[in-house]
Each structure stands twice: as C-alpha cells, then as structure tokens.
Chain A
Amino acid sequence: MKQKLLNVFEDQHAISAKGLARRKFLTQAGGLASVAVLANACKKDKDNNNDGIDLGSGDIGILNYAYALEQLEAAFYTQVVMSQFSGITATETALLTDIRDHEIAHREFFKNALGDKAIPGLEVNFAAINFNSRDSVLGTAKAFEDLGVSAYNGAGKLITDPNYLVLAGKIVSVEARHAALIRDLISNGTFADNTVVDAMGLDLAKAPKDVLTTASSFLKSKINANNLPTS
C-alpha cells in the first residue's frame, strides 16, 4: 500500500526549530557572517547533538514530551480510522474511533495548556506501517499504547508541579485502558501479560530518552530532549 502523505496537523505547519533558529541567525548576521563562523556554528550544533525540536526544560519540557507522544498517537489513529484495515469489525471501528478522539483530546489539551511554550506540530513517518493490515495496525497500536503508559509512568517523578502530576495521572490510566483493549483485540487475555507487568505486579516505566528512541522511528521531525529533567 502506498503511504499517503500525512498532514494530520492541519492547523499547524511543521516548523523546524532549527530552521527558525538559522533564519534568525542569518537575519541578524545580515548575511555577513563568514563561512568559517557559520561552519563552526553548524559543527557545534552537530557535536552537541542539539539539533532538533527542543522540548524545553523542567515541567514544560515534560509536558512537551507528553505533547509529542500524544501527537504521534493522534496522528496514528487518525490515519487508522481514515483508512481502515481490511476486515475491520464494527466493534473495532467504534473502539478505535473512540481512541482516536481520546488521543486528539490529549494532544489538543497539551497544545492549549502549553500555549506559546508548545513545540510545533511534528511530522510523522508511518512508512513502516501497513494501514491495510490488521496485524500491522494493531501491532503498532499496542507498541504505541504500551510505550505511552511506560512514558507517563517514567515521567511522573520528573514532574515538580502537583497539578501536572494529577493531569498526567488522569491521562496515563486512559492510555492503559487503550493498551489493554488493543492487546485483547490482538489476543484476548493479554491485557496485562508478563511482557508489560513484572512479577511484582508493576507496569513498565521508562525514561524519556528510552521512549524517544522508540518513538523517533515514527517521526520525521527530530526531537531534542537534552534539556529534560532526568531525576
């Protein structure tokens, strides 16, 4: 199946922060910057691995991190509902549409909550997903939902404002409900199997860098999480 070009963030053009920074730099430099200076700037960029969209620091960084993940999920389910896999049942259509709406609600909530601190809309890369295949769609959904749960679980301790922790808590259990349902659609009874719940009865919790390593394979936009809190 030919992958349609996704433009799910119709209200936001994906703007590269790096592009903006460069434009500003060039404007300020009035085009007079020497080649050497420019080359050095680029080199420094690369060496520090500071290119990409900066999520920011502190609680704002964590909220942008959540916003990035919700953008990814919302884009995915928007495409799932738009181009349904063959053999989809009425139950699957109804529940996947619900999930799409939840993820859009999460995405838009973070966008508004962050206001001018929000990162831009991200460009996704779903080339590896066959939206016509139930296995491919549900397998990806499972990966995204489990990843989302582990991301929120891992980010909770990085939040300093109690109000944000409560909000993250309100969302993560819904992601866990999604994860359980998707898993049951794939194989009934796997809602909380031992690939996600350990012998102590604990779900996964992952650090942002680990989550973003997985998420980045579904993103054209490059994310820079260097300024996120780590403890």
Chain B
Amino acid sequence: MNIHNIISEVEKVDPEIYDRLSPRRKVIQQFAKLSGKLALSAVPLALGSLFSKAYGRGTTGTILEVLQYALTLEYLEAEFYTKAVQSGIVPAGAPTGAFTTIRDHENAHVAFLKTAITASGGTPIAKPTFDFSAGNGSNNGPFKDVFTNYTLLLAVAQTFEDTGVRAYKGRAVELMANNDVLTAALQIHSVEARHAAHIRYMRRNLLSNTTIKPWITGKDTGGIGAAVQASYNGEDLTTQATINIVNINGKSISADAASEAFDEPLTDTAVLAIVDPFIV
C-alpha cells in the first residue's frame, strides 16, 4: 500500500483532511517521508492510530468530528471503569455498585455514539490504547498505582467525569445544526454530571473532607493537586454574560457559591491536552 495515495484519496472525500490533521501535520509530513523506510506491515497500524488521533481531535467543528471526539472520551471512561471494577480494589457494596452503574453508562455511551456516527455516514474511530497511569504509554506515569490505590482511583475518576462534563459543554454549540444529536449530547452531558457528583460525594465520605462537594468550588481539585489542575482551571468564574454573580441583586451569594452554580466549558484543545498522557 502507498500511504501518499491513501492520504490523497481521503483528501478527495474530505478536503479538510490536512486541516483536520493539522496538529499532527508535521508528523504526517515526517511520516510520509519515513513511510518508505517503514516495514510495510507496520503502516496500517500506524496509519490507523494517526487517523484515530486526528479524528478524535477535530478542529473544524463538524458534527461527525464532535461525535468522534466524544467517542474518544467515552472509550477512555468505559475502559477505565471496566478496569476499575476488575481491579478488585473497589469495596464491595455501594462503591462497586456505583462503579458498575457508571461503567455500564459509559459502555452505553460508546455504543450510542458508534451508532450515531455510523448513522451520520461516518466510521467510528477505533478504540485507542490507553495508559491510565497518564504515562503516555510508559505505564509509569503519575497515576501508575491507579488500579491498586482506591483513593487514587476515585481521584482519577473524578477528574475524568468533571473533564467529560466540561468537554461536552465545550462543543455543544457545534451540534446546533442537528437537533437530535444536540439533544442526545446534552442527555449524555447531564449523565456525566450525575457521575461526577456521585464520585465527588464518594471522595467526600471516604476522605472525611467536607470541602469536597458534589459541585466544583472555584478551581479546586478537591485535594488531588497539580497533576489535575488543568481540568479545573477556569471553573472559578463568577461572572456570567457580564453579570457578576457574587452578591447579585443584594442576595448573599459568595464567590464559592457563584463559581459552583455554573460549570464551565473546556475547549477541545484543553481537553485533548488533559487526556493526551492517557492515550498511547
């Protein structure tokens, strides 16, 4: 097979392929140069991975791209909860019940998005390989104990859920052309928020820490720390549409409450930077 031909074939169908691949454009150029030197058998796999990342990281905002982006995040969550339930470190009873419920929802989201993508004329991206240590494939990243340390497991779960909520919120506008897809995305979005609230409540009780609430206060990570700060930056907004929420209309609304009352979106660029260490 000839990789130059493949990309040029894709270009005929998808003229924006190079823009779509733009964060990786240099890689592609290098890839194209190197491809002649690569073992032929390695090419399909590498190409698949390249395209997966590209479509999971859309920049031009078509509905299909947003769906692929969502699918990438749902793959991440689904596999995370599957491994969490299998790990044996989640206590029996309510904790395992909650993880199982969430796992099933994430799997349902994967299935739903695949169906939606196919129905929209696309091909669902393949599931990436994940490294839940956040080690970019080394399996030796900052969360390397995630499936042996229950406290850490909950911390990563919280981060995934809160990030997921922000991710859907950040791209809803791009779905406005299709009411059905927009509504479905909103329906997934609020389920992720329910998950986030429950995981946060689990952490509150496990750690006996009343500063951890089902909602996000300021840009507080809930004691997780700098490793996940990017998932919370910007959540401390207390002005909405130029209206200051703190003590609005003479009501006693603290800055904490004002920030908690509104969840903030994240751009795809920010989300992809956050999940990048988890994707091999």
Contact = CB atoms under 8 A, between A and B. Distances in A.
Interface of A: 11, 91, 94-95, 98, 101-102, 104-106, 108-109, 111-113, 149, 152-154, 156-157, 162-163, 165-167, 169-181, 184, 188-189, 191-193, 196-197, 199-205, 231
Contacts of A170: 169, 240, 262-265
B214 A165 contact: no
Contact of B187 (A113, A188, A203): A203
Nearest to B174: A162
Interface residues of B, number: 60
Given A11-B249, A165-B172, A189 B265 contact: no
Contact of A180 (B194, B240, B245): B194
A179 B191 CA distance: 10
Contact of A98 (B191, B249, B257, B264): B257
30 contacts: A94-B210, A98-B213, A98-B215, A102-B257, A102-B261, A105-B251, A105-B261, A108-B253, A112-B249, A149-B190, A153-B187, A157-B179, A165-B173, A172-B190, A173-B165, A174-B261, A174-B262, A179-B197, A180-B214, A184-B197, A191-B195, A191-B198, A192-B101, A193-B101, A201-B104, A201-B105, A202-B187, A203-B191, A205-B183, A205-B187
Interface in B20-55: none
B182 interface: yes
Contact of A174 (B176, B183, B195, B215): B215
Contact of B257 (A101, A153, A184, A205): A101
B236 interface: no
Interface string B80-107: 0000000000000010011001101111
Contacts of A102: 215, 257, 260-261
A177 B257 contact: no
Contacts of B1: none
Contacts of B190: 149, 152-153, 172-173, 175-176, 203
Nearest to B108: A201
Contacts of B191: 176, 192, 197, 201-203
B184 interface: yes
Contacts of B104: 201
A204 B187 contact: yes
Main secondary structure of the interface of A (DSSP, over half): helix
Nearest to A105: B261
A214 B194 CA distance: 22
B57 interface: no
Given A104-B251, A176-B194, A180-B198, A201 B261 contact: no
A101 B102 CA distance: 28
A178 B243 CA distance: 23
Contacts of B109: 201
A173 B108 contact: no
A101 B73 CA distance: 32
Contacts of A178: 197, 214-215
A208 B134 CA distance: 43
B76 interface: no
A157 B182 contact: yes
B188 interface: yes
Contacts of A104: 251, 253
Contacts of A157: 179, 182-183
Contacts of A106: 261
Contact of B186 (A91, A172, A201): A172
B186 A177 contact: no
Point out which of B104, B168, B191 has the most chain A C-beta atoms below 10 A from its C-beta: B191
A4 to B, nearest CB: 20
A174 B101 contact: no
B110 to A, nearest CB: 9
Contacts of B264: 170
A201 B188 contact: yes
A146 to B, nearest CB: 10
A205 B187 CA distance: 7
